[in-house]
Structure 1
């Protein structure tokens, strides 16, 4: 999946995420797999690095480069990072992808308490305050990343195994498929290749019994499946995705993100994403499933006006 050859652009993997989520472990694993790691690098200087880093293999071709960076970089600005990389991707012979390491707040706080380290954004505050501030700062990069790995329930060995599966030179050439859900009221998914708007379905939010639940819960699933438009719409979406995936792969696309949106990102889009992921697994695919707004608080102001 990730092997280089002289007639292909040099692969550059940007490794970032929340402090304490496993960036150092990931870079060490990548180094063991033959990547050349550079950690804590100012992204504004990446153009200079790419033209000076040796990274030469035995045949003289450039090997893959893994660049680690996070919020500790002076003057860190996620939007500037994205603009810099997008500019280089257009002008240079490099194939960029981004790995974002995420982790739940409680688990991060536990890790900091266990190691007695201070969070880099909370020098004189509790670790929880720094974690919250960093999550807000890094959210644009999380949404922009090609691959997001949550290490909340991971041991170090779990992360090492996942990195090997995704980035080993001998890994399968299969395309990485991500199926995600999101709420339009909380912003689009900028990295989505296919976006399906599920707001034509009846909204479970306006049922007081269903409001605190999500699209993963059986009562919400039953409500959505009971909408007359659901079955035919999902069948057409599923068939379109199945038709397109091999064509994306034939064009050499390494990552495909299929996103389902509804108003708040908790009910209709979540159920649809779960349904498509299950359908793809049944066909032999192994999609990554992400629910961006699953834990967001339900709010009438976000959902809009209820139907009479």
Structure 2
């Protein structure tokens, strides 16, 4: 998948999308002269541009939209990657490849690969991330890293060298995004506008039960405290069980305020989820806690996850502390 460039952030755009072409690419598994089914040929996006202009943010956005993303793939291997995708029986329908000057000598190979893809009528687009010299210098200085092409010179020397190397590729780009004045959320919004289509960006949620006595989950985005409800631990016949048990769950949600809390918190999460989508956030971890992470938090996590799933949110349930004593 992706290993992202640490310098990338931010965006804007001039756009002139190329008309997509449907075509064929040899898979290497068929007899001479045969080609892969056009429906199986992956769509290809090549992400390039200035170091520090936002390549990794753009790549991460496509990854969150379901694209198979490869960072810094040697350009000579791009046709091979497309062929492998064509053999996947539709499992790899969209491929994004990040190419940049880290590969050095890659431009001749890139031109050859693009020519091969065009000859095979592969649907492909080039996205070029651009930014002003001032913005790039500011970003490199903020992370205290050298430009990959500056050598013994200054950051501006590296930027100038990279612009010269990328000039031809920029001219061939189907979409140019200027990130000079954009933040990471604005860049993601522009990528969503170009590649998400009419579908609303998907949100994935992890609902995690936990025990406060074992500490808060470090990756929690939202924390819910269920200790306002009576603890089934003090009911002898319920103590040995967990919140997965029907009797324990019924006990928890028969308490005053329990069902009302679930209803209202679900409504609140709908509001939050809409905001997360607007801001380009695709993953959220909701931590639901009680004293030991065995009864109230487990029962509530199960109910909450079911509610989210019914609202179209892809949901995973994790019970962190349920097996502890």
TM-score between both structures, scaled by the size of structure 2: 0.47
TM-score between both structures, scaled by the size of structure 1: 0.50
